Structure 1
Amino acid sequence: MTLLGVAVTGSAGTDSALKRVRLAKNLTLEEAVKQLNRITGGATDASFLSAWESGRKRTGMRNRRALSQLYRERPEALFAHQDGRDTASVLEATGTAVVVRILTRHTDLLEAMVGVVAGAREHLVVTGSRSREKAYLEAIETAVAQEPDLVHYRVLYGPPRHRGLSDHLVRLLELRDPGERRNGVKTLHVGMVEPLRAMERYFVASETAAVVPPPSFHGADGFDCGVLLGREAAVGLVQHGREACASARPVETMEAVRALPLRHGATPERGEA
């Protein structure tokens, strides 16, 4: 029996086509991911490719196209194990169980965001260009200062909308040099997504938890509600931020930060984080 031109015998038949074609090309997970990231400009790692191969997670469209290009195979064959009616990612299978808490007050939202930051030990992703809550920004700076192995990704969607965020970016660069490596790993990434018309995404995520603010339940101008999410959703959002930062324009020098214009316009309501 063959599939994708690869002989299938014995226990190999239990592997997905995505895994079998990688093995047929004699690629390790790390080697395949390196080639994948060259195509996408992203920051996927071996753990994600392994999860895609096993069906624990679904592959996004950009990486599907790139893997099809890399392996020279049709996506409907490579990802059949993810798309079949009887298969689902761990995240999909858990459904609403990934929601830890609905936050309906600004104080609860801020507390949860600070909690996610304080609990980060491996990865911390912060996105958006509107942050100005002093306690939240100080919590991020404290985490960067106190956790030298923490890899921090800061993704901007357009220039900062508040002077407080610009000052925060400067302080991050004072705390860490993005050019340095710890144990061979770059631990500070600051980038701005372009073009500026790209839809702004706002969330904070660590390896164990995340907070995503939805539209306010109380009014059009409020920033006072959120969803606290558990590990499975948080891991996916960390990857989202890593890929967004990898394809963003680096803003990793004092000069680059200070050259960013403040975006003037409608003044957001008090309480916007």
Structure 2
Amino acid sequence: MRRARTARNLTLEEAADNLNEITGGATDASLLSAWETGRRRTGAKNRAGLCQLYRERPEVLFAHQDGEATSVLETSGTAVVVKVLTRWTDLIEAMVSVASSAREQLVVTGSRSREKAYLAAIETAVAQHPDLVHYRVLYGPPRHRTLADHLVRLLELRDPTARRNGVKTLHIGMVEPAAALERFFVASETQAVVPLPSFHGAEGFDCGVLLSREAAVGLVHHGREACASARPVETIEAVRALPVRHN
């Protein structure tokens, strides 16, 4: 992949910009570098875009990602599960902990968040740690007014067009509902929580799993790539224009 880029005399930044023109996403130079070195695997949409950009077959561009080498996560099995969360209060407490302890990266996915303590923890982390890079991936418009208001507060705290030490620190993107199934998790550089369907009945997601660093790093990459492929929603006006199902 790197040879294909350098053969066209493109920098990482230029290649990322060209890819985004094809996919409509928001891939940045650091993510493209991770794909080139094989530290991360490229998702289907960006694979198609890179094949178009470089005019090369996928088996050539992504041979270094699709070999037999396995990651620490792939060999660790159930060891990545730190704790099974069987109560709603434990789930929220763990999600708040992930958000509060994030210092480098914080990825949050889903369009149904409305727990005020959890959303407040995210806002506090963004406000208190200017080097923290926050990714919010929506799957369709916010289901609740509480989440829409939270997105506005994030945009009041940070300008997505600004850069800190050359790095964009706030990314908000929306995946169209028809493009992918909604998924729910919060992940930092050290831990992650994935809510699960209830163990106690047919309604809601009130249980979950707390995952270790190995899984958290993988989910951070998952969220970054999802955000890179999503439609940016990065102005207060754009957020307020989204339809909200429940007030």
- If you compute each CA radius of gyration, which structure gives the higher value, 1 or 2? 1
Superposed displacement of residue 212, structure 1: 1.3
Pick from 74, 78, 87: which aligns with 2:57? Answer: 74
Work out the CA distance in 2 between the residues paired with 1:77 and 1:250.
30
The alignment partner of 1:213 has SS state of strand
Gap regions ≥5 residues in structure 1 = 1-17, 266-273
The count of corresponding residues between Structure 1 and Structure 2 is: 247
Q: 1:72 to 1:262 in 2, by over 3 A?
A: closer
Matched with 2:165 is 183
Code of the aligned partner of 1:74: R
Report if the CA contact (8 A) 1:82-1:88 is conserved.
no
Compared CA separation, residues 20 and 261, structure 1 to 2 (3 A):
closer
CA distance change for structure 1 residues 117 and 31 in 2, over 3 Å: closer, same or farther? same
Distance 1:66 1:210 in 2: 29
Unaligned runs of 5+ in 2: none
Structure 1 87/112 Cα, relative in aligned 2: closer, same or farther at 3 Å?
A: same
- The percent of aligned pairs where both chains have the same amino acid is 79
Match of 1:96 among 78, 92, 117: 78
TM-score, with normalisation over the residues of structure 1? 0.75
Correspondence for 1:59: 42
The TM-score normalised by the length of structure 2 is 0.82
Q: Does 1:165 align with 2:147?
A: yes
Aligned-pair CA distance for 1:201: 1.6
Matches within 5 A, 1:1-273: 18=1, 33=16, 35-44=18-27, 48-49=31-32, 51-53=34-36, 55-84=38-67, 86-195=68-177, 198-264=180-246
Question: More relative contact order in 1 or in 2 (CA 8 Å, sep 6+)?
Answer: 2
1-structure distance, mates of 2:35, 2:240: 40
Given that 2:25 and 2:230 are in contact with CA atoms closer than 8 Å, whether structure 1 keeps it comes out as: no
In structure 2, relative to structure 1, the CA distance for the partners of 1:259 and 1:83 (3 Å cut) is closer
Partner Cα separation in structure 2 for residue 67 and residue 20 of structure 1:
13
Cα deviation for residue 152 of structure 1 reads 1.5
Shift of 1:58: 3.4
Paired AA for residue 232 in structure 1: E
What is the CA RMSD across the aligned residues, in angstroms?
Answer: 3.0
Give CA deviations for 1:169-207 in whole Å, capped at 9, x if unaligned. 222222223333322333222232225674222111112
Given that residues 117 and 143 in structure 1 are in contact (C-alpha distance below 8 angstroms), is that contact kept between their aligned partners in structure 2? yes
